[in-house]
């Protein structure tokens, strides 16, 4: 069966000390309270990753992720960080295509395809985000938007490469707004994503693909969202900044 993953996205929050302290709490709580094989991922700012990588190395089932990388392997790109660099401190996952990167940093599908290649080349797993804006939802255009994002960002991959990709459906109107997609709305899109993947790569790969939901997920709505057949976990922003809230979401998958 496909893997259940709960990933926290800290965004540009927490100074170094706060980040280390939150991560240590998460590691301890996971050790004490998590029963099951769900995977926990914490996507922290770059400056935290080296220290968190050392803490994660001794923690079963807790991995670290970056929130972005540059598409080139190395070179004269002042201010940027490469996939090889984050790998060297113990990163396993990289969020790509988050709507904030698409909207505020002009990241296009074509650029994201290059970034996906860079991440896979290092043996890391992309958490590739897709999702429609409020206008696209209201104009009923969201299936086409999501299909285009998949085609532009990840469908150039071979089947073996695609098998390493984690997808995250994050309706832009639900991110940080407190407006969660209803379990039915989310399931409808997740099922569509899985069908679209099946049409491209076949039913077996589609069935193995982990598809996360993101957008105002919290301890009160996580269990109904994760109970949907095509929702395999979450990408959690605000609620991942509080260890107790994050753990309650992770524990939805306790067996």
Residue nearest ligand PGA by beta-carbon distance: 237
CA gap 22, 15 in Å, rounded? 11
Contact yes or no for 175/215 (Cβ under 8 A) = yes
Please indicate whether residue 164 is annotated as part of the active site: no
Q: Does 176 bind ligand PGA (CB under 6 A)?
A: yes
188 contacts: CB under 8 Å, gap ≥ 6? none
Q: In the range 216-235, which residues lie near ligand PGA by CB under 6 A? A: 216-217, 235
CA atoms within 13 A on the CB side of 58: 7
> Taking the complex as a whole, how short is the minimal distance between the CB of residue 178 and ligand PGA, in angstroms?
8
Q: Which is nearer to ligand PGA, 170 or 230 (CB)?
A: 170
What Rg do the C-alpha atoms of the chain give, in angstroms? 17
Residue of 98, 107, 132, 248 with catalytic role: 98
Cα first-last separation, the chain: 15
Q: Does 36 bind ligand PGA (CB under 6 A)?
A: no
Please indicate whether residue 170 is annotated as part of the active site: yes
CA atoms within 13 A on the CB side of 109: 14
Residue of 100, 107, 170, 248 with catalytic role: 170
Q: Does 9 bind ligand PGA (CB under 6 A)?
A: yes
Which listed range, 120-128, 131-139, 215-223, 247-255, lies at the site for ligand PGA (CB under 6 A)?
Answer: 215-223
Residues belonging to the active site: 98, 170
């Amino acid at each position: 069966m496909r893997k259940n993953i709960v990933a926290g996205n800290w965004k540009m929050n927490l100074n170094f000390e706060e980040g280390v302290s939150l991560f240590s709490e998460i590691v301890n709580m996971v050790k004490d309270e998590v029963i099951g094989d769900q995977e926990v991922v914490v996507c922290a700012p770059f400056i935290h990753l080296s220290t968190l990588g050392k803490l994660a190395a001794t923690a079963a089932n807790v991995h670290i992720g970056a929130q972005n990388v540059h598409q080139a392997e190395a070179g004269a790109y002042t201010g940027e960080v490469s996939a090889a660099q984050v790998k060297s401190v113990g990163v396993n996952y990289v969020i790509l295509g988050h709507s904030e990167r698409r909207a505020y940093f002009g990241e296009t599908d074509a650029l994201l395809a290059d970034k996906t290649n860079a991440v896979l080349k290092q043996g890391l797993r992309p958490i590739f985000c897709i999702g429609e804006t409020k206008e696209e939802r209201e104009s009923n255009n969201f299936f086409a938007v999501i299909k285009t994002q998949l085609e532009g960002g990840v469908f150039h991959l071979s089947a073996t490469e695609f098998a390493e990709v984690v997808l995250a459906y994050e309706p832009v109107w639900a991110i940080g707004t407190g407006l969660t997609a209803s379990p039915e709305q989310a399931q409808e899109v997740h099922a569509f994503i899985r069908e679209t993947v099946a049409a491209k790569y076949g039913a077996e790969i589609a069935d193995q693909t982990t598809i996360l939901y993101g957008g105002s997920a919290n301890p009160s709505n996580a269990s109904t969202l994760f109970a949907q057949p095509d929702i395999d976990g979450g990408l959690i922003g605000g609620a991942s900044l509080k260890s107790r809230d994050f753990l309650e979401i992770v524990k939805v998958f306790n067996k």
